[in-house]
Structure 1
Amino acid sequence: MTPATSARLVERLREKADALGFDDFGICEAQLGPDVASYLQEFVEAGHHGTMSWLAERMEQRASPTGLWPEVRSVIALGLSYAPEDDALATLDKPDCGNISVSARNRDYHDIIKGRLKHLAQFLVAEARRLDTACEVKVFVDTAPVAEKPLAEKAGLGWQGKHTNLVSRNEGSWLLLGEIYTTLLLPPTPHRAGSCGTCTRCITACPTQAITAPCQLDARRCVSYLTIEHDGPIPESFRKAIGNRIYGCDDCLAVCPWNRFAATAREMKLHPRPDLIAPRLADLAALDDPGFRKQFSGSPIKRIGRNRFVRNVLIAIGNSGDPRLLPVAKARQIDADPVVAEAAAWACGQLEALLS
């Protein structure tokens, strides 16, 4: 393709991405600098990945797009805003309710993004065929070994903030990412400058001090890791700091000053379900496996399973300071899952201490 033809193709792709509901679009060459591989190596060697063994097992593929797919030449990075309409942290002041991360208050964003990526990839293949050009594509969300944040930064969507997440000039810290790898060599998007400056609000806001330095995260301390990825008992040293966060944590994202430029998410499937804005802990603790699956059908929360979720709920009950929840915790002490039973016993101890 000539440069003019490539430029027109990119413009058509950008228009199609917007029509599909994506809020940001950019292209970069399918290469990342050695600093990405070095950071990942140091992260794993320090044990900061915790039990996320897949990070250690597929480092070469994650560190470079060609490590995952040797034929890839360009990466199309897409962003979908999930910016909330209201204060994302408001539920933290309701100790008898659970706080669920904004990205998990409705439909599973993996499914939303992947479906749209496939539509855009099919559009690209069709346009290339019309230009008599061979084109292969692969689509990824965050379940694949892809360095999505460095690629999004290189493609001009934003920059990695001190909380290690992407920050966008337009969407702040509320941007979900997806990628299309293609064998086409497409003109890259000019880099857009931006930085966090001297701001350290995200570091200060982290309830467990998981951000150990600017752009340095120890996942083993992160509430999102502890409540979503970590299987087994949550270390007692972090339980009080978790508060009533029962799935994920938005504290470092919500305090980002760049959020003032973010409009409420356009995608209605990412707007919160009323029952997931401030769900009652007593109701959630009573869920059995069928009830859990029914309540969280289509939700990313379903991925962690009933036992891990109820474990989180019981930690929140222990932190509630509400003795009225003691019978709820006691009922779970005989739970068939030993991790749930242990969390229930801990919660009972916390609430009983208030009565002594």
Structure 2
Amino acid sequence: MTKTLLKAPFKADHVGSFLRTEPIKEARKAFANGQIDRAALKAVEDKEILKLVQNEIAAGLKSITDGEFRRAWWHLDFLAGLDGVEEFETEYISHFQGAKTKNKAIKVVGKVDFNGHYMIEHFKFLKEAVDKYGDGSQVAKFSIPSPNMLFTRIQGDEYYNGNKEQFYQDTVAAYQKAIQAFYDAGCRYLQLDDTSWIDFVSEERIQAIVEKEGQDVKDIIATRVNCLNDAISKKPEDLLITMHICRGNFRSTYITSGGYDVISDAIFANLNVDGLFLEYDDSRSGDFDPLKRFKRDNLTVVLGLITSKFAELEDAERIKQRINEASQSIPLENLALSPQCGFASTEEGNILTEEEQWNKIRHVVSIAESVWGTI
């Protein structure tokens, strides 16, 4: 029997995270203070996620997420749930332009592996909600950090003691198991979030990573391509996997600026993902020239032309104009539209209101319908 392949990313899509609601914030604070137990916290999260799913459907979205409502971080929560990885308190190092995150990081303390993960249950709850409230045209989408966020962003390599090849192989194997586990739970749309590509957006960052790794920049890029490709190499045919590239998203700030020029061949020709979510909301992301490297007719490039950082709505005609510009390099049918990032990559969230957030989502849907006649 032929498997039905999901037609996504959708023409109006999104990266996944949403502003935490007041009940979520209050419950997490009460839990941290020992005023409620984990079961009570989960009950609040469940209730708010059910509301969120209904709001996403009402806004016209087809890809439905849980908003990452159960997470503090877009990446650390998942990575610390892998075997051999722990979260820890670290000395504060500011990476963002004028904003301070919490002092958290991850380290490897044992063999990296996957033998179950609590987020599988998070996905199952989401899928049940989508099945309950949707009309059959929506799909439950789940986001996890790319394997590169472990292999290239690790602090405290205590277990592998410099054996990068073994660390690589174990990371890839763990992700292969994780991807299969999400699939077995019913996931058909998985997104890998990857900020490691910002190492190549400017000469300053390239020089720093070359000095750190002691390798040529092409070899470093190739390793990251291989890490992701190897991790998804055993995915089932009807599981769609996309990747989101970000330059940082915390309290409406960012880490760095620069275009996709150096990694254009890597991401447009060499990565075996089904879709790419690219930041393009302002000049931080460079111009559309790298899109000329597009070579795969089975790849969807999702243009993040709507910002999640600020409330002001972009001029719809200008967004349509930019989509048209991009279509000079990539066929229109291979393009889609989304915000450049989530609204809350961490539980603190960006600096806008929930209503302003939904205005942004409805704006994406409206423009996509106008350009493609569908979402």
TM-score strictly above 0.5 = no
Question: What TM-score, normalized to structure 1?
Answer: 0.24
Question: What TM-score, normalized to structure 2?
Answer: 0.23
Question: Which of the two has higher C-alpha Rg?
Answer: 1
Q: Which has the larger helix fraction?
A: 1
